[in-house]
Structure 1
C-alpha cells in the first residue's frame, strides 16, 4: 500500500473497529491526516503497524540471500537472540549474523521484520547441529567463526529462587552448551547475569545442612553451576576466560553488568574485553557517558503512566533524587510499609540523573521498587528512550503491545558491549594483538574474573574437604 485509504478500509485491514483506527490515528500510532473532517491512513504505515502487532508467531525459515563465499564476513550464529541487542553489536563489529534462534513470539516478529534474510528458528531444544547448519545454509565442512548466546537468566538471577539447572530454563542452558560444542565453532560466547557466578548446580535446603547432614558436594557449593559448565567446556578441548563487565565501561550510557564467558577452540585463554571508557577518566579513557548524551531529539514517546498517588511525590523531586529527598513529613506516607523494610530502597520514587549513566533498565519502568522516572517529566522512561539507552537504532521496529516492547529492550544486551565482544573475537580470528589495561575495574564487584573466581571456588572446595576429613 503506497497511498492513503479510508478509516473503513483500514479497520477492515486490521480487523478492528473504525473507532479503534481513529484512536490510533489520534495517538500517532498510524501515519494519518484529516481530509474533509475524516481521517485517511497512509498504507505503508498501516502495513508496518499490522506487522508489529500481529499475534501470530513469525515462521521458521532458512537464511535468504546468502552472499558468495568470496565475500562472506566471519559467520556468527545467535541463540536466545531476543530483540537482537547483542547481535547488533556483533554485526557492527563486522560479523554476518547468519542465524537467530528465539522462542518468544514478539521477539521473533521483531527479528523477522528487521532482519528478514537472517535464518530464524524457535525452541533450541528442538534442533540438532545438522538442523542449525541447514537453516544457516552452511555445509558440514564449513567452519563457524562464532556462536553467541545468552540463555535465560531468571534461573540464576539473584532476584529469583536460584533454581539453577533444576529449572527448565537451566536445562536449555545446558542444551546451548552441548549444541555449541557439537557445532565446533572457533569461538563460543556465553552471556549471563551475575548470579551465575554464585549459583549452585543443585540447591540443598538450609534445613538439611549442618553437622547432622553430609557435607556439600561440588555441585552444591556456591558457583557449582558455573563449575559444571566450565568442566563441559574443558572436556570439549576449549580454553576460556570470563569476567563481569559493566556496559558503561564500553560506551553505553547505562550501568548494566553481565558475565561474558569467551571460549576458544584452540584451547587458549582469551584476553578480557578492551574497555573504551572509565568512570572517572582513569587509564586516560573518556569518562562514562551520561544519560544526557542519548536522550535528545526524540520525536515520539510511547510510555506507561505512573498512578496519581505516585505522581504527587514525583512533583516534589528533581533530577537525580528519590524518596529520600522528599520532605520529612512525606517520606513515610510515600513509602507505606516499605519505609520499614531493609536495604537502601534507592529504586523507590527514583528520578534519573542527567549527569550519570542510567541505572540498569528493567522490563517494566513503573514498578514501585524499580521506578525509572524521566529526570524532568512526570512519567516513566518511554520505549524510545529505552532504545536510545540500550543503543538500538531509532528505526529498529519492535513488535507487540507496549509492555512487550519494554520487555524486549529491557532484556537486551547493550549494543556497545556487543561491539566489544565482536571486536575481541575479530582480533583473535585475525591473530592481532588485544590491548590489555592492567588493574582495570571491570565491574563494581570483586572476584568476578575467571582467575579470582577459580581461586575462591578452590577455597570453598578445600573447606568442604577439610570438614569431611
Structure 2
C-alpha cells in the first residue's frame, strides 16, 4: 500500500461521510488495511476513486444519521429528488430527509456532495418497500412524509401527452404504488400544469367528433390525474391540490407547479399559505424581484450567446424581447419563426430588474427560450440560476456546466418546498390554517381540486365511463 491516510482525511477528500468511507473500505472499493477499530486508507486509491469518472462516484448507500439529532424530527422520504431544491425547503420546515431516490447520475453526485449521510437509491422500479425502509434506517418508525415530483415530460403540454403509456409515466405509477404500500401519513406529489389536463389514453384528434365514439373517461382531459386520485382514494387517502405560483411564496421567479397533498387520515388538507402577493394584497409583501435575488453576486460562470444573436441583444434593454427591435430586424432575427403562431416571448428575452424572473428552463441560451441578463450581453449565470431557485451559494453542483443548468432549471424552488413542508408540519402538529378564500394562486382557471372536479364531471356526462370518479 502507498501513503496511508485516516478515514476522516479520506472522507474529506471524497466529500462523503466517514461512515460511507468505511463502507467503501469494507467492500474493498478503496484499498485499505484494518488496524484495530479504524482503517488506514491508501491515498492513491482515494484519488483514483474520486477521479476515475472525472467526479465523485455516487453509489447506492443506506442512511447514516445521528439518532440523537434526528429523534425529534418527522421523517421524510424523497423520490425523483433531482438536485434537492424541494427537499431543502422541506428540511427548513423541520423534516429529516432520510432518503433520496434519483436516477440521473449528475443529480446523484450533487446529492452525495451536499447530503452524504442521506440514503441514496437509483431507479425507483428497482426497490421494494422493505428495501426502502431498510435503506432509510427506519426500523419501526413510521414515514411522516413521502414526497416526489415524478418525471413531467409524459404530462407536459409541450410533449406528446403519452401519460402512463410512457416509461416516465410508469415511474409515476411506481411512485404511487410504493406510497400505497409504505403508507406515509402524508404524500406530496409535485408536477407540471399539464397533469391537470392530460388524458390517460390519448385519442388522435382526427379520430374524434361526428362518426366516432364518444371519448371514454380515460380519454378525457384529466383522465390520468383521475386515475391516480382513484387509486389513492381506494387506499384511504384524501387528496387536495392546486396550481401554485412560486412567486406567492417568496421565490423571485414566476414558476407554476401543481402540488397534490394526500392525507392518510382522510381529512382534506387546506391550500398552502402564501407569504407574498403580486400587488401586495392581503397585507403581504410584493413579489421578490430579480434585482433582490442576485444582489451581491460577484462571480458569474455562464454559457455564451453566438454572435448572430448578440447583434440583436445589443439593441435591447432590460425587460425587452424581440418585439422591441425595428420591424425589419425582427424578421431577420427570428427567420421562419417570425411567421409562426404564438407569442414567441422567449425569443431574445432580457430579464427585468424589478420583476421576478420568468420560469427558468434547463438551458438559458436556446434560441426560443433565451434567459439573458438585464444589461450584460450573456445568458444568466449558474450563480444567478441558483439564486433564482433559492439554492444556497454554497450548494455544490456536479457535472459540466450544461448539466448544472439542467439540474437547477428542473428543481422546485426552496420557498415553495418550505411552504409545503410547513403545511405538513402544521398538520402533524394540528396547527394548520387555511389561506384567504379569495387569494389568487395562479393565472389559470379550474386549477384547484374543487374546480377541476366540477369540470371533469361535466365531461363525464358525455363520456362512456371506464373509471369511477374520485
Length-normalised TM-score, structure 2: 0.87
Q: Does the aligned pair in 1 maintain the 2:70–2:96 contact within 8 Å?
A: no
In 2, distance between residues paired with 1:427 and 1:420?
10
Q: 1:51 Cα shift?
A: 6.9
Aligned to 1:254: 253
Matched, 1:196 2:189: no
User: How far 1:71 moved relative to its partner?
Assistant: 3.0
Residue number in structure 1 paired with 2:217: 218
2:9 is aligned to none
SS in 1 for 2:184: coil
- Rounded to whole Å, the distance in 2 between the matches of 1:236 and 1:57 is 38
- Equivalent residue, structure 2, for 1:103: 103
Alignment partner, residue 452 of structure 1: 451
Q: In the superposition, relative to structure 1, how do residues 56 and 211 fare at CA in structure 2: closer, same or farther (>3 Å)?
A: farther
Residue by residue over 1:393-430, the C-alpha shift from the partner in whole angstroms, topping out at 9 and shown as x without a partner, is 00000000010000000000000000000000000000
Distance 1:52 1:329 in 2: 53
- Contact 2:423-2:432 within 8 A present in 1 as well: no
- Asked whether the equivalents of residues 217 and 464 of structure 2 are also in contact (C-alpha less than 8 Å), the reply is no
Moved more, 204-213 or 255-264: 204-213
Residue 130 of structure 1: CA displacement? Answer: 0.3
Secondary structure at the counterpart of residue 456 of structure 1: helix
Task: For residue 68 of structure 1, report the CA deviation from its aligned partner.
Answer: 3.6
Corresponding residue SS for 1:98: strand
Q: Following the alignment from structure 1 to structure 2, what is the Cα–Cα distance between the partners of residues 161 and 57?
A: 34
Q: CA deviation at 1:330?
A: 1.3
Answer whether contact 1:52 1:397 (CA < 8 A) is retained. no
Contact 2:79 / 2:100 at 8 angstroms: preserved in 1? yes
The residue that corresponds to 2:31 in the other structure is none
- Deviation digits for residues 310-341 of structure 1 (CA, Å, limit 9, x no counterpart): 00010011000011111233111111111111
C-alpha separation between the residues in 2 aligned to 1:250 and 1:52?
Answer: 42
CA offsets, 1:343-378, max 9 Å, x none? 111111000000110000000001111100000100
Contact 1:392–1:415 (Cα < 8 Å) also in 2: yes
Q: Superposed, which structure 2 residues align to 1:60-139 within 5 Å?
A: 60-68=60-68, 71-139=71-139
Structure 1 residue 133, shift from structure 2 partner: 0.3
**Counterparts in 2 of 1:69 and 1:363: CA distance versus 1, 3 Å:** closer
8 Å CA contact 1:200–1:224 kept in 2: the answer is: yes
1:433 maps to 2:432: yes
Superimposed CA distance per residue, residues 242-262 of structure 1 (whole angstroms, 9 cap, x where no aligned partner): 000000000000000000000
TM-score calculated relative to the size of structure 1: 0.87
Deviations 1:132-191 (A, max 9, x none): 00000012x321100000000011011111110000000010000000111011000000
Contact 1:113/1:397 (<8 A) preserved:
yes
In structure 2, what is the Cα distance between the partners aligned to 1:278 and 1:361? 20
2:146 counterpart of 1:147: yes
Whole-angstrom distance in 2 between the partners of 1:131 and 1:213: 48
Deviates more, 1:288-297 or 1:115-124: 288-297
Deviation at 1:208, TM superposition (A): 2.2
Aligned residues: 421
SS in 2 for 1:460: helix
Q: How far, CA to CA, are the matches of 2:258 and 2:131 in structure 1? A: 29
Distance across 2 between alignment mates of 1:221 and 1:54: 48
Aligned positions of 1:153-302 closer than 5 A: 153-302=152-301
Alpha-carbon separation, structure 1, partners of 2:116 and 2:378: 34
Quote the offset at 1:55 in angstroms. Answer: 5.5
Q: 1:210 offset after TM fit, Å? A: 2.7
Contiguous gaps of at least 5 residues in structure 1: 1-12, 14-42
Is this contact kept in 2: 1:305–1:379, CA < 8 A? yes
CA contact 2:215–2:464 (8 Å) conserved in 1 = no
Q: Which stretch has the larger CA shift, 420-429 or 332-341?
A: 332-341
Q: How much has 1:435 moved relative to structure 2? A: 3.8
The structure-2 alpha-carbon separation of the partners of 1:138 and 1:94, relative to structure 1 and needing over 3 Å to count, comes to same
Which is worse superposed, 53-62 or 100-109? 53-62
Q: 1:303-342 residue pairs with structure 2 within 5 A? A: 303-342=302-341
Secondary structure class of the residue paired with 1:283: coil
CA distance in 2, matches of 1:177, 1:205: 28
CA contact (8 A) 2:246 2:255 kept: yes
Residue 215 of structure 1 deviates from its aligned partner by: 1.7
SS of the residue aligned with 1:397? Answer: coil
Q: Secondary structure at the match of 1:425?
A: helix
- Cα distance between partner residues in 2 of 1:346 and 1:210: 33
Residues 267-292 of structure 1 deviation map (CA, whole Å, 9 limit, x = unaligned): 01000000000000111110000110
Q: CA deviation at 1:436?
A: 1.9
**Alpha-carbon distance between aligned partners in 1 of 2:70 and 2:385, rounded to the nearest angstrom:** 38
Instruction: Provide the C-alpha distance between the structure 1 equivalents of 2:143 and 2:51, rounded to a whole number of angstroms.
Output: 32
Superposition RMSD in Å: 2.0
Residue 52 of structure 1 and its aligned partner are, at CA, apart by: 12
